[in-house]
Each structure stands twice: as C-alpha cells, then as structure tokens.
C-alpha cells in the first residue's frame, strides 16, 4: 500500500523554550512536541516518579467502593472479583485478588468463558456467584454497559461495584459504585488508565484507608504494567509512570508465574516490546482458545513446578492460536480479493466457522494491510459475535454507536470494539457500517507515517541514542521515534532470513551506515547499488556488532528526487 510521509512541523520559539528550560537537545525538544506533551508536563514525562501519581480519591465513587469493601471485611462477607478474559482483565483480577486476600477478605474470582459466555457480566454467572455465598461483586475491566445485568444482580441480593475504563454511554448501570475515569461526571486528572490501572488506583485508596505502607500496592506494579502495556492505552501521564516502574520491578519479580513466563519468552530486554509481543500473546492465549483462568492461576501460583507447567501450557496454547489465526487470515484475504473489497471504505466479513477467540487479532492484521476499519463476525453457540479494529484517527466505538439499532450489544474503545448481532441483521449492518464510515469522510487510501524530525550524519551519535532511550517505555501515543534521512547512496544490498528482510549499507558522503528493513525483502528489486534514496527509519544500537554501532531500522524508502 502507498504510504504518505508526514513530516511534523514545529514552532521554533517553543522548541527553544523547551531546550533552555529543560536543558534538552534540539531532537529531544522536537520529540516531546511531536508527542503533544504540554510544556508544564514535560518534567513529569521525563522524570515522573511514583510520588507523581494522582490522588486515587480524585476518581468519582472511589470513597464508595472503599467503604463498601471495609463493610465486607468487618462483616466477613464473601466477595467475588468479576473480570474480563484478556490481559488487562487477567492482571486486574490478579492484583485485586492478591491485595484483598492479604487484607483478610474471603475472596473468589470469576472469569466468563469467551467462547460460551462472551464478554462482560451475564445473569447465569450472577446466579452461580450468588449460589457460592457471595454478597459483593467487584468488576474489573468490565461492567460499564451492563445496565440490565446490574438490575438483575440487585434483584437477587448482590451489591456490585464496577471498576472499568471502557467508553461510557449516557445511561450508567445502577451499581453501588462506578469507578471509571471516563464517566462524564468524573473530574479526575487522568482519563486514559487501563482497567488494571483503575484497579490499581483502588488498591492505593484502600491502602490509604488502612494506613498501609506504599509497598503493599507498589509491589504489584510488575503485573499492572503488563496489563497497561498490553491494552494499548496511551503510555503517557500515569500510564507512563506505571509502566516505567513496573518494568523495573519485573526485572527482579517475585511473582513465580511471571518468572516462569519470562523464561519461556525469548527476549533481549525487559521492555514494552517484550510485553506486547512476547508476554501478552501467551497470557491472552488461554482466554482466546478457551478459559482464561489458567493465566490467573499462573500469576497467583506459589509452587515453582506448578507455575512452570502452567507457563508451558500457555506457550502451547499460543502456538495453537497462531496456527488457527494463520488459517483464518488466509481465508479473509481470499474473500477480500474474490469480492473486491479493497475498494470499499470498510471490511466486514462473516464466517460461522471462525474461532471467536482469534478474529480480533486477524482484524488487526487486516487493518495494518488495508488501513481501514475491519470487523469480523462468527457464530458461537448460536450467537453471532464480532470483533473490530480500526486505524488511529477513526473511532470504531462512535461508528458502532450509529449502528446500534442493528446490534444486540457493543462496547470497547476508539480503536477496538466487540459486538453481538442477530444473524438476520448482518447484511443490513454491513451496509449501514459502510455508509457510516464513508460519511465520516475518513481518508483510508494512504497509510500515514508521521515523521518526528529530519536527521543527517551529524545526528547519529551518543546523544540521539540517549534521547531515544529517555522516551521509553514506548507504546500508544509514545511510539518509537521515526526520522527522515535524505539522499543516502546505496552501497550494498542483500536479503536475509529467506529473503524476508532487507539489509543495506548506505553511504552519506564518506560515512557508511548499516540499515535493515524488516519484512521489506519483497522490495529488493526497487533499488540498485548507486541509487540515492530517502528513508524513514528508527535508530538503534546494533548489539550484534562489536563494538556496537548505530543502525537505521527502515520503515519505508523512496528514490531521492
């Protein structure tokens, strides 16, 4: 697909002000501006500590949930934590379960089966929970749209406190307490916490209630960082602090399950990339392929041998997930080609045999390929369920809101959402969704590469490596910096790893620069030795060389004009 290069422009006066005030390089000043870090927030972004986390009681209803938990403790009530089956939900259950157990509360947890029950609270689960003597449910990473289910819970004598971070509709459930920074009537300072971040703020508030040491909740930051990074929330503000410190704790984690998982993941560094591409898929795998309780058991396990066994099971499930995903992905490509769907504004596909736990990942891959909103639908136990993804700049949640009359239920974020629909409405939904996407006048023909800055040979030094590292951990709203380097002469070309990747030596005046383009081997014949090209690339230290050298990681290239 054609990619459009968009070089960001900067106000030079603001750049100079940032440089002089915060004593940073010209490149760093530009990187901060390109990430929309407000001037007054720069110090927190670069140097923020745990002490900079906001007061948890700023979040609406926080006092209510803390008081209700206090009552449950004093009355010796049984409490159930009800979570979602993805990494965010699994990590949320883990920290809440560990913390409340240590507090002395009689606790259990409930995870719906993705393939049987689907997402969120359901009445059958509420009946099961009630039958086990529970009087208080605390939801994590779910519940904000469960209006009818909360009414049913009240009817059978269950109090429900909702902790969630998903988008809110105008009408909220009539729960005992609703802790969600995205509530219209919430005035807390940071709105973009993951579900596990909201749960963590609850732990902070409870600890304050009982005058517990900070260590009693900070020790769970390794788990909190996994859920935060995996849920693709913006890694700025409190999320940045949580992730940054959580990754440090993870290096010496005391969680046995996490230790065993780290052994299996083939990683170079403990960073956000390792979490996103190594750890998250394995934790997610059991929920996608069946019941997510195995991942919770892993993170709660206190026996080394049992933890090792569960970690290996998750790894095997992840491999199974990959195989199923590959089959579905190839099937979708065939359908798109056969029906000429590349020219449409959206892609909505239905196949009753597709695995419900995997269609969301396939939808993400299709978005990366076609750069337009994608929804995949399948049938599970008589119900049509769907999972959607879209490119940044488009709100999938808002688009589905315009189609709500055709849906049974939907929920999620701007970039990812889930839904259920009556089979007879599928065709009407496909037409309506296409119309909604088209009417939003969203340009989907080109994939935009946002470039932070132009660089030259003089910038390839220790300072730029220092600046890039200072921005870690990378993630949503804080992507790996990308630079434009013009007029490089191709000195050598080859492909590596079965022609999958492109390996170049580029020349700038008399200097030779190593470059690699992952998955760009297919473009080998577009250039010849002696050509001059412009490249957009990340910059990294090549640790395979001794001594270490700076190399360009090419994202795209064009012939120089």
Q: What is the rounded CA–CA span in Å between residue 202 and residue 198? A: 6
What's the domain count of the chain?
A: 3
Question: Is residue 468 assigned to a domain?
Answer: yes
CA atoms within a 13 Å half-sphere pointing along the CA-CB vector of 308: 4
Closest CA to 471 of 242, 191, 236: 236
> Do residues 177 and 25 touch, judged by C-beta distance below 8 A?
no
In this prediction the pTM is 0.86
Question: Is residue 244 assigned to a domain?
Answer: yes
Q: What is the rounded CA–CA span in Å between residue 286 and residue 392? A: 28
> Is pLDDT larger for residue 509 or for residue 52?
52
Question: Is residue 28 assigned to a domain?
Answer: no
Q: Are residues 293 and 364 both part of a single domain?
A: no
Per-residue pLDDT reduced to its tens digit, 459-472: 999 999 999 999 99
Domain boundary among 386, 412, 445: 445
Q: Are residues 113 and 261 both part of a single domain?
A: yes
CATH of the domain at 541: 2.40.50.460
> Do residues 103 and 129 touch, judged by C-beta distance below 8 A?
no
Q: Are residues 279 and 307 both part of a single domain?
A: yes
Q: Are residues 146 and 283 both part of a single domain?
A: yes
Question: Is residue 321 assigned to a domain?
Answer: no
Nearest-Å Rg of the Cα atoms of the chain is 25
Q: Are residues 127 and 232 both part of a single domain?
A: yes
Domain boundary among 253, 279, 313: 313
Question: Is residue 438 assigned to a domain?
Answer: yes
Domain boundary among 411, 426, 445: 445
Q: Are residues 463 and 376 both part of a single domain?
A: no
Q: Are residues 416 and 501 both part of a single domain?
A: no
Q: What is the pLDDT of residue 273?
A: 93
Q: What is the pLDDT of residue 1?
A: 56
User: Do the bridges between strand 134-140 and strand 78-83 make them parallel or antiparallel, or are there none, so unpaired?
Assistant: parallel
**Residue 443 pLDDT > 60, yes or no?**
no
Closest CA to 219 of 388, 50, 73: 50
Q: Are residues 267 and 360 both part of a single domain?
A: no
CATH of the domain at 234: 3.90.1640.30
Q: What is the rounded CA–CA span in Å between residue 290 and residue 355? A: 10
Question: Is residue 329 assigned to a domain?
Answer: no
**Residue 442 pLDDT > 60, yes or no?**
no
Per-residue pLDDT reduced to its tens digit, 295-315: 999 999 999 999 999 999 999
Query: 503: part of which helix (H) or strand (E)?
Result: strand 501-508
Per-residue pLDDT reduced to its tens digit, 535-545: 999 999 887 76
Per-residue pLDDT reduced to its tens digit, 423-437: 999 999 999 999 999
> Do residues 495 and 479 touch, judged by C-beta distance below 8 A?
no
Q: Print the domain residue range for 530.
A: 3-8+448-559
Q: Are residues 261 and 296 both part of a single domain?
A: yes
Closest CA to 158 of 173, 140, 172, 137: 137
Q: What is the rounded CA–CA span in Å between residue 483 and residue 450? A: 9
Q: What is the rounded CA–CA span in Å between residue 149 and residue 110? A: 15
Helix (H/G/I), strand (E/B), else coil: 117: coil
**Residue 28 pLDDT > 90, yes or no?**
yes
Per-residue pLDDT reduced to its tens digit, 162-216: 999 998 888 999 999 999 999 999 999 999 999 999 999 999 999 999 999 999 9
Q: What is the pLDDT of residue 425?
A: 95
Query: 418: part of which helix (H) or strand (E)?
Result: strand 416-421
Q: Are residues 454 and 440 both part of a single domain?
A: no
Q: What is the pLDDT of residue 542?
A: 83
Q: What is the pLDDT of residue 441?
A: 61
pLDDT band at 414 (very low <50, low <70, confident <90, very high): confident
Question: Is residue 238 assigned to a domain?
Answer: yes
Q: Are residues 388 and 476 both part of a single domain?
A: no
Q: What is the rounded CA–CA span in Å between residue 2 and residue 4? A: 7
- Rounded to the nearest integer, the mean pLDDT of the chain is 93
Q: What is the pLDDT of residue 266?
A: 80
Question: Is residue 152 assigned to a domain?
Answer: yes
Tell the residue number behind the tokens 């009946």, with chain if given.
Answer: 127
Q: Are residues 495 and 476 both part of a single domain?
A: yes
């Amino acid at each position: 697909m054609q990619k459009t290069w968009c070089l960001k422009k900067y106000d030079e006066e603001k750049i100079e002000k940032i440089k002089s005030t915060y004593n940073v390089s010209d490149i760093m000043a530009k990187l901060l501006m390109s990430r929309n870090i407000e001037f007054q927030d720069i110090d927190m972004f670069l140097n923020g500590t745990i002490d900079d986390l906001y007061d948890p009681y700023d979040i609406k209803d926080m006092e209510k949930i803390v008081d209700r938990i206090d009552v449950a403790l004093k009355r010796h009530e049984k409490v159930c934590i009800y979570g979602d089956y993805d990494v965010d939900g699994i990590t949320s259950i883990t920290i809440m379960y560990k913390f409340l157990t240590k507090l002395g509360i009689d606790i259990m947890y409930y995870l719906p089966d993705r393939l049987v029950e689907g997402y969120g609270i359901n009445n059958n689960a509420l009946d099961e929970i009630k039958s086990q003597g529970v009087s208080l449910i605390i939801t994590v990473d779910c519940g904000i749209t469960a209006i009818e289910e909360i009414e049913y819970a009240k009817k059978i004598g269950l109090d429900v406190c909702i902790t969630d971070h998903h988008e809110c509709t105008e009408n909220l459930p009539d729960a005992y307490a609703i802790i969600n920074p995205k509530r219209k009537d919430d005035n807390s300072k940071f709105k973009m916490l993951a579900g596990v971040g909201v749960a963590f703020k609850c732990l902070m508030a409870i600890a304050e209630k009982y005058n517990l040491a900070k260590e009693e909740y900070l020790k769970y930051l390794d788990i909190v960082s996994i859920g935060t990074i995996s849920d693709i929330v913006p890694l700025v503000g409190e999320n940045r602090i949580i992730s940054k410190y959580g990754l440090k704790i993870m290096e010496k984690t005391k969680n046995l399950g996490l230790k065993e998982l780290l052994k299996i993941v083939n990683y170079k560094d403990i960073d956000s990339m390792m979490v996103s591409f190594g750890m998250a898929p394995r934790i997610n795998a059991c929920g996608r392929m069946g019941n997510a309780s195995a991942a919770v058991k892993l993170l709660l396990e206190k026996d080394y041998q049992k933890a090792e066994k569960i970690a290996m099971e998750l790894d095997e499930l992840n491999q199974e997930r990959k195989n199923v995903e590959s089959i579905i992905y190839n099937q979708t490509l065939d359908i798109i080609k056969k029906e000429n769907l590349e020219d449409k504004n959206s892609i909505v596909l239905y196949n009753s045999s597709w695995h419900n736990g995997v269609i969301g990942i396939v939808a993400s891959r299709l978005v990366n390929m076609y750069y337009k909103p994608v929804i995949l639908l399948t049938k599970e136990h008589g119900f049509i369920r769907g999972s959607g993804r879209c490119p940044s700049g488009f709100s999938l949640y808002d688009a589905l809101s315009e189609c709500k009359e055709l849906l049974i239920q939907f929920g999620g974020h701007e970039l990812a959402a889930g839904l259920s629909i009556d089979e007879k409405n599928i065709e009407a939904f496909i037409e309506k969704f296409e119309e909604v996407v088209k009417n939003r006048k969203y340009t989907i023909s080109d994939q935009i590469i946002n470039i932070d800055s132009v660089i030259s040979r003089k910038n390839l030094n220790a300072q730029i490596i220092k600046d890039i590292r200072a921005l870690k951990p990378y993630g949503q709203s804080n992507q790996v910096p990308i630079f434009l380097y013009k007029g490089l002469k191709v000195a050598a070309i080859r492909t590596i790893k079965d022609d999958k990747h492109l390996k170049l030596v580029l020349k700038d005046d008399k200097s030779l620069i190593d470059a690699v383009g992952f998955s760009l081997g297919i473009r080998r014949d577009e250039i010849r030795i002696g050509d001059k090209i412009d490249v957009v690339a990340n910059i990294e230290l090549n640790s395979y060389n001794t001594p270490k050298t700076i190399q360009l990681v090419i994202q795209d290239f064009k012939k120089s004009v």
